[in-house]
Chains A and B, each alone.
Chain A
Amino acid sequence: MLEVSRLSVNYGPFRALHDVDLTVQEGEIVVLLGANGAGKSTLFRTLSGMQRPSAGTATWRGQPLTGGRPEYNVSHGVSQCPEGRLLFPDLSVEKNLRLGAFVHRRDAAGTARELERVYSLFPDLVGKRNAPAGSLSGGQQQMVAIARSLMARPQLLLLDEPSLGLAPMVVEQVFQAVQRVNEAGVSVLLAEQNAFAALGIAHRGYVLEGGRVSLQGSQQALLGDDRVRSAYLGV
């Protein structure tokens, strides 16, 4: 289980996260709602080891995630698919995926197996395996990004804004894939602005406002909450 406790992150004098408490149980999809600048990406960067917190703890299955070493977090089962994808644009799709399995570099057979799995999850990528990742459409690049983070064989997948800038049909495809990954046993923490699509597949959710958790609850509770409905669902 992911346990985040009283986590605070400062950028100089600016406090981006303030005493955040959050959990993700094994097998859950938990959605993190919030406007731009609410602190979603800061939380994700902290959980993947890119950013060190100024106070508080975050652990996955008891392992600390706050050491500031992303390679530690990835090799302990926490893999992030970042906002903006951060692919290697001139490398082929397949090389991007193989680099996703960098922490398993001594296990070639396992990486080959995982490659088969992500290609069956995203069949669109099979025909593009030798194309430079940067030449793909936005939706396909998002698939490469998710597939790359899956190549690390995560137990917890951190998905930051996977639907950003994608056509509605592609968004649906991406969310179906996330659901299938979750059904295969991967816990998911999903940050989204597309609240409706995200709540559709999530078990629980948190709302982040100004770096604080302002609301939390089950899928049903959030879908029924007036504040969520007016702020994030536009109804």
Chain B
Amino acid sequence: MTILFQQLSNALALGGVYALVALGLTLVYGVMRVPNFAHGGLYMLGAYFAYAALNSLGVGYVPALILAAVAVAGLAALLERLVFYPLRNAPHVHAMIAAIGVLFFFEAVVQLIWGADFKQIAEPVPGILNLGGVVITWQRLIVIAASVLVMLGLNFFLKRTLTGATIEAMSQNREGARLVGINVNRVGMLTFAISGALAAVAAALIAPIVSVAPSMGEVMNLKVFAIIILGGMGSVPGAIVGAFLLAFAEVFGGFYINLDFADVIGFAALVIVLAIRPQGLFRRGT
């Protein structure tokens, strides 16, 4: 029983991180209709920016997380301007190839500056919490709480503010959004900035648990694309549900079957769901 709860906390923390990264990707897809393959690169940069802020600037963990979020948000908005905006009328495959190029570029720059070896971020609150035999590290609790908090904030922004509504409006009907006078360029940049900030927050949260490496973006890319395909491309609830499904499949599959199979189990679940619902869990059939 205690082992079950321990695995549960692992799955919730992992799911929270997946959800934050996947939410940004699905929002950008909804608004731009382009799969941003550079998204994992933004996540990876978030981890390195947090690492640099902690070690070079010497700020605390929370300011480092915020700095990383702001920096990656700005970079993502710039990415929209410099890469995706000029390609908006080109065939979609051009933007996809460009995004992959950006991903490799980010990795190369990071290797040049910080090297290819693993970096470690110290836990801001070291130690564990013992809840009647269930042992949870403080960092996992922080990850769970912070990711839930960020998701609630995002939900408030999308559902309760007019600016948030413009993002949903544009993903549901781009022409209609233009006709009511919504500036699609501004919404595009804003959506990219939000996706960058979410990815950076996720990276800074998980960095003390895993190691920071240039290749972490590619691994995350694979997972979050699986998640948003599972949940339905462009769907916000789909991204959240998909993220937790994948995290639970990985953690429990890895624990009860075999740790080496953790990734296999996650993707097997994806294949099964898509065989039954090709449009994803939360997207209407077209």
Contact = CB atoms under 8 A, between A and B. Distances in A.
B181 A75 contact: yes
Nearest to B176: A86
A100 B175 contact: no
17 contacts: A50-B178, A50-B179, A71-B183, A74-B180, A74-B181, A79-B179, A85-B176, A87-B173, A87-B176, A88-B176, A90-B168, A90-B172, A91-B168, A99-B182, A100-B180, A103-B181, A152-B180
Given A86-B173, A87-B173, A89-B173, A48 B162 contact: no
Contacts of B178: 50, 70-71
Contact of A71 (B165, B169, B181): B181
Interface residues of A, number: 27
B166 interface: yes
A48 to B, nearest CB: 6
Given A88-B172, A88-B173, A89-B172, A102 B166 contact: yes
Given A99-B162, A100-B180, A105-B162, A86 B169 contact: no
Interface of A: 48, 50, 70-71, 74-75, 79-80, 82, 85-91, 95, 98-100, 102-103, 105, 148-149, 151-152
Contacts of B168: 88, 90-91
Most-contacted residue by chain A among B178, B180, B182 (CB, 10 A): B180
A151 B166 CA distance: 15
Given A91-B165, A98-B162, A98-B165, A80 B179 contact: yes
Interface residues of B, number: 16
A101 to B, nearest CB: 8
A82 B179 contact: yes
The 6 closest A-B pairs by CB, nearest first: A86-B176, A74-B181, A71-B181, A103-B181, A88-B172, A88-B169
Contacts of A100: 180
Interface SS of chain B: helix
Contact of A48 (B165, B166, B173, B179): B179
Contact of A50 (B169, B175, B183): B175
Given A75-B181, A79-B179, A151-B180, 12 more contacts: A70-B179, A74-B180, A74-B181, A80-B179, A86-B176, A86-B179, A88-B169, A91-B168, A98-B165, A102-B162, A103-B180, A152-B180
Contact of A86 (B175, B181, B182): B175
B176 A82 contact: yes
A54 to B, nearest CB: 17
Contacts of B180: 74, 99-100, 102-103, 148-149, 151-152
B266 to A, nearest CB: 29
A86 B172 CA distance: 9
Nearest to B170: A88
Nearest to B178: A70
Nearest to B169: A88
Contacts of B182: 71, 99, 102
A78 to B, nearest CB: 10
Contacts of A75: 181
A99 B173 contact: no
Nearest to A49: B178
A167 to B, nearest CB: 24
Contacts of B183: 71
A91 B172 contact: yes
A234 B169 CA distance: 40
Interface string B170-212: 0011011111111100000000000000000000000000000
Most-contacted residue by chain A among B165, B172, B179, B182 (CB, 10 A): B179
Contacts of A102: 162, 166, 180-182
